Amino acid sequence: MPKPKLQPSLVAPPKPLIPHETISEGFTQSEFSEMSCMQRWNYRYNQLLVKSGGITALALTVGSGFHDAMEQFYATKGQRVNVATLQFKEYDVPSLQDITQLNYWNHILPVMVEAYGIYYKGDAIKWTIHEIEREADIQYRGLRLRGKIDLRYSDANGMWILDHKTTSRLNKDVVAGWDFRFQFMFYIWLMSKMEPDMKLKGYGVNAVKKTELRVKQSESLPEFAQRVREDMIINPDKYFYRESYPVTRDSLQHFEETVVNPKIELLQFVIDNPQSPVARAIVENKNTDECQKYGGQPCAYIDLCRHGMDKMGFLYDKKPAKHEELELEVA
């Protein structure tokens, strides 16, 4: 005897591949950048998974501390900067090596900021500061797009937005492609959408290189920090780099059509077609070239990709918010 068909009202709707919370919290440039491996994006931003017993990448922690110092520097026109002590997040489980590294940066970051203030003390005179750490939040083609603009200022050449960046290397290979890098173009594109009549000349990258000096065997950390400070002041060209990139309306339109829109259309297809095998394939597509970069740490989700959630899911917890760095600012 054939089974009775369920009434349409009794059939459960298909479970979305991208939950409502993922959509409502919006999409950021760092999130779009993670989509070079969609499975990694799925784990990190869609399922909010973080590896138990690990820590937030120290590079992100140091970068966040530097950004906070830059906000103070430009808000006070270089008169006052209090570099906050770097700390682990509540859900971090640091190792002894992690604690040692955090202690290292709590000595080095203040001298980096001090040397920066000495080298760029003329900014307060040459620049007119319009905005610091502006939240960008727009609706575009049905999706919420978010970001944070580090600085908007005017100089003799016009009005610019500036992005602060700490980097381990500073050479022609690193800066190549900054004129079309998604992160920087996305920020100025967001600004152009928020205020179409604003006459922005372009964007600038304000890069500060981390020291390559090493602690000597007989040297304490405070002594080493003082040596780093002196080296940054005596040899500023080794550490500080700025480049400005003029951006036209035509180039922004090209960026929108060829870079932003394809990402939006990909997400919209997955959202609108939760039962489509193609949509699932998009979300779960693994780019194995991203599993480990040369000289870097393996991807935090490599165990899940190798062995599956059933066997390795116990290694991961769920973080409290998709974009903690933005949600904390709003709170």
User: What is the count of structural domains for the chain?
Assistant: 2
- In three-state secondary structure terms, 319 is coil
**One domain, residues 144 and 237:** yes
**One domain, residues 193 and 128:** yes
Q: What is the pLDDT of residues 71-114, one digit of tens each?
A: 999 999 999 999 999 888 776 777 788 889 999 999 999 999 99
Alpha helices in 35-171 (DSSP H): 38-41, 58-75, 96-119, 123-126
| Inter-residue contact 216 to 224 (CB < 8 Å) | yes
All residue ranges of the chain with pLDDT < 50 are 327-331
**One domain, residues 125 and 207:** yes
> Is 209 part of a structural domain of the chain?
yes
By CB atoms closer than 10 A (0-12, 13-18, 19+), residue 186 is buried
**Structure confidence at residue 47 (pLDDT):** 93
**Structure confidence at residue 89 (pLDDT):** 76
**Structure confidence at residue 7 (pLDDT):** 57
Q: What is the pLDDT of residues 271-304, one digit of tens each?
A: 999 999 999 999 999 999 888 875 567 888 999 9
> Is 63 part of a structural domain of the chain?
no
**Structure confidence at residue 95 (pLDDT):** 79
How far is 54 from 164, CA to CA, in rounded Å?
Answer: 27
> Is 308 part of a structural domain of the chain?
yes
Domain residues for the domain of 307 are: 12-51+260-331
> Is 45 part of a structural domain of the chain?
yes
How far is 313 from 240, CA to CA, in rounded Å?
Answer: 43
**One domain, residues 221 and 180:** yes
